[in-house]
Structure 1
Amino acid sequence: MGGTALVLGATGGIGGAVARALLEDGWAVRALARDGEAAEARWTGSPHGRLVWTTGDALHGEDVARAAEGAAFIVHAVNPPGYRNWDRVVLPMIDNSIAAARRAGGARIVLPGTIYNFDPARCPIVGSDTPQTPLTRKGRIRVALEDRLSQAAREGVPSLIVRAGDFFGPGAPQSWFAQVLARDPLKRIVVPGGPGIGHSWAYLPDLARSVAGLMGRADRLAAFERVQFAGYWDPDGTALPSAVRRVIGRPDLPIRRFPWWLIRMLAPFGGFPRELAEIEPYWRHPQRLDNARLLALLGDEPRTPLDAALRATFALA
């Protein structure tokens, strides 16, 4: 199928999953990392092809442009180092990807989107045309980022934004699922949402298959395309914890609520608690993702049965 794609952030969960899905579909895939040799040594590999690593930094425009030469797509799945300095790093990085895509002759930029662009209290359902009313600093930055992609599309650099809920799956250690809900060693389940509040989850391999599928249908995409990946909808916040108990065979595993009261108390001092406190509304209000546009483009959405997805997440036979 495909041609050549550059993946920025292939050492992370979504970037790595998309790289594997593209290799499976026959793409030639490159990856950019600050230490290419170390990243290649850590890469678990794929039976479908070799990921070609290049040393460089997404904050350095020339590094990105060099890696993107001849690429048809740039998957922009990169985050600030240590998830810090969003206000100073996120927009320069997307500017570098846009410039590299332009130099590559109009490569399409693929961006994993977030729900932080929206006020969860006002947007219970997020679709392709839902007005973006961010509550947080990170949300405002994400809106600005997508605005830059929209402007670039009018100037000959197309883009594809695939928005999804919170990740879970193998290779996703930096996630609410892995770091909070089912943290290893699994002694308890910690639920971030309030009682009865629904939440959207995205199984990474299914999301990656959707992204790769959309990239393989580039001729059907608008110059500036936004789609939503519905994933798994937990209607009241109990379905996923119950499935975790069932899959690991521990029906009596304790379930606790996440201590948001402590985060709110520490937030005025800044640092990580302040960053975390901004996200609380997304666990206090249900927010579903409308995948109508994705279905129109792909025909269906990849959907691994939940128990099978959790077994793969926990690496159970």
Structure 2
Amino acid sequence: MRDLPSSVQAKPRLGTSTGWIGLLFIAPFLLCYLALLVWPLLNGFWLSFHAIDLLSNMGRWVGVTNFIDLLQDEMFVRSALNSLLFAALCTPVMVITGLALALALNRPGRTTAILRGIFFGAGVLSVTIVTLIWRLVLLPERGLLANAMHGMGMAAVAPLNHEWLALPAVALATVWWGIGMPMMLFLASLQQIPHDVYEAAALDNTSRWRSFRHITLPAIRHGVILVAVTQMIAQLQVFGQVQLLTQGGPNNSTRSLVMFVYEAMFEQWQLGYAAAGAQALFLLMLAGMSLQGWLERRAGKAQA
């Protein structure tokens, strides 16, 4: 019997010394993953079915009562709608603006490198610094926006004090803060496209729009799906910008789901109720991840 090629030889089993050595290598990550992600997730799920006070940490089993109360809680419903609206405001702008910046800066040169650094640099700032900057911009009567409107002979507007403008103002600050990461992801996707394809299109006198539509977009569609879904999931978890810019006001028009969970736990001390709200947020993010998987499969079928 001839020897099997190396590519089909038996892999090391867990009972062998090689298998145990491999397990030791991944053990630190596995332990951290279980301790910091899996256990809190399971524990939060267990807590959501109990009525527990944060201070006493003693409670009783209430089943799905917490979830029923959430659906009947006007503040929870308002917070959930605000979070969904915020994600709907930010995600398309992140995708379109990030792609536009990537297309404009996808070329060699010192100037483009500097501009990439400038756009990406805002993302390394803390949420405290970002909100401080935008407070100076949006201050009523004295902010940069108010001074600009006075200079044009217009009455100053205070977006953070307006019920219909506060959430878009927070979304604008968030886009300014986080646009660097989508831009870099799109740049990485664009740089994977062979230049020969564009050269062949240029020889056929293909317009830039047709090249973008028939070459660029199909080649980066997986990147577009990734950016859209990750941004949607990230914006559903908005907390810092809202907490520091508006404290959920005016009239609860910017209160998010994470802020609702935070207040239920640390202000009302209702640990089980807060855990139920967190599970509702988890379900929304899980729906976003499921959407990504569905879009990836659909894109793969279209490519095939």
Going by fraction, where is helix more abundant, 1 or 2? 2
Structure with the larger RCO, 1 or 2 (CA within 8 Å, 6+ apart): 2
- With the shorter chain as reference, the TM-score category is under 0.3
Greater Rg by CA: 2
Question: Which is strand-richer, 1 or 2?
Answer: 1
